[in-house]
Amino acid sequence: MSRAQIEGILAAAESNLQRAQGLVPRGQSLGDKIIANMFFEDSTRTRCSFETATFRLGGQVLNLTATGSSAAKGESLLDTALNVEAMGVAAIVVRCAISGGAKLLADACKCPVINAGDGRHEHPTQGLLDLATVRESLGTVAGKTLVIVGDITNSRVARSALHGLVALGADVRLVGPPTLVSRAFEAITPSRPGQVRVMYDFDEALEGADGVMMLRVQLERAAGAAISSDYHELYGLTRERFARLAPHAVVMHPGPMNRGVEIDDAVADDPTRSRILRQVTWGVAVRMAVLEHSLRCD
């Protein structure tokens, strides 16, 4: 997405924020359209917020998961999507373990396909909700310094956040153990020189930071084997590190959190500077905007 496209979605999300929280009556822009939620990997926030977003816009949800569907009998992701589309759904939201899985479906289906996280590749609506949260918390994204910490290599969240932050003009520091953060990230992102920095010293990276985005150590992607027993000491956002941050700096995490591993309880639960639950609220507003945009009813 270009900067203009991102800003368009963020503006729409902002106008949806009251409705996303149920503070104004549900709209009817989806007009009883059915949205298929195909979640072939576990999810709490993304699946529930797409379902909430659809409800708030007057649509209906068809939920499909790997267990309990014919995927368990070996039916492919693509065949499943084509069969669901043949039932007349207006759009498909897909989460899958295959990097590129959403693109595969988008190329084959006539209806819009929305990526809810594909393997280690991208999680675009997470990236958008992260941007919305940064913008609300800091007033702007441009010129701010955001530190993304953890399992960058295996993180679709980091890839989407990185793209969005760079597009909107933030400086980004990618931090983690060398096994999980490659210097190649500095070269592969189209950005001005120095805009994206890979750093291995978390304390150094926190100097002058406006926000810290902690990532979950993804044990299901074998990253657990790549981290050492001193991970919390070296890369955890501890109460002590949090105390050294600038007073305005905020903390984010896409969830689910490994409390005591990448983030301490006192930081995650800080009543003002932890924006973790606010990210979830923005998730509904952003997904409403994405649904309306995809279905051309915004």
**d(Cα 291, Cα 29) in Å, to the nearest integer?**
10
Cα 217 to chain centroid, rounded? 15
For residue 256, what are its two tokens? 């689910």
Smallest distance, ligand CP to C-beta of residue 144, A: 21
Pick the piece of the chain touching ligand CP (CB under 6 A) from 61-69, 139-147, 179-187, 251-259.
251-259
Amino acid at 274: S
CB-wise, 125 or 137, nearer to ligand CP? 125
CA 2 to chain centre: 17
Beta carbon of residue 193, minimum distance to ligand CP (angstroms, whole number): 31
User: Which amino acid type is present at position 268?
Assistant: A
Among 44, 99, 179, 228, binds ligand CP (CB under 6 A): 44
CA distance 84 to 93: 11
Query: Exposed, middle or buried: residue 290 (CB in 10 Å: 0-12, 13-18, 19+)?
Result: buried
Asked whether position 179 contacts ligand CP by CB under 6 A, the answer is: no
Given the complex with ligand CP, which of 75 and 220 has the nearer CB atom?
220
Q: Closer to ligand CP by CB, 93 or 205: give it.
A: 93
Least distance (Å) between residue 101 CB and ligand CP: 15
Measured between alpha carbons, how far is 9 from 206 in angstroms, rounded to an integer? 30
Distance (Å, whole) CA 253 – CA 103: 26
Does 45 engage in binding with ligand CP (CB under 6 A)?
Answer: yes
Comparing C-alpha atoms, which of 85, 36, 84, 75 is closest to residue 59?
A: 36
Q: Which is nearer to ligand CP, 93 or 289 (CB)?
A: 93
Regarding 126 and contact with ligand CP (CB under 6 A), the answer is yes
221 is an interface residue for ligand CP by CB under 6 A: no
Position among 29, 43, 60, 182 found at the interface with ligand CP (CB under 6 A): 43
Q: Is 145 in the site for ligand CP (CB under 6 A)?
A: no
* 255 binds ligand CP, rule: CB under 6 A: yes
Q: What is the identity of the amino acid at 112? A: P
Per CB under 6 A, residues contacting ligand CP are 43-46, 117, 126, 254-256
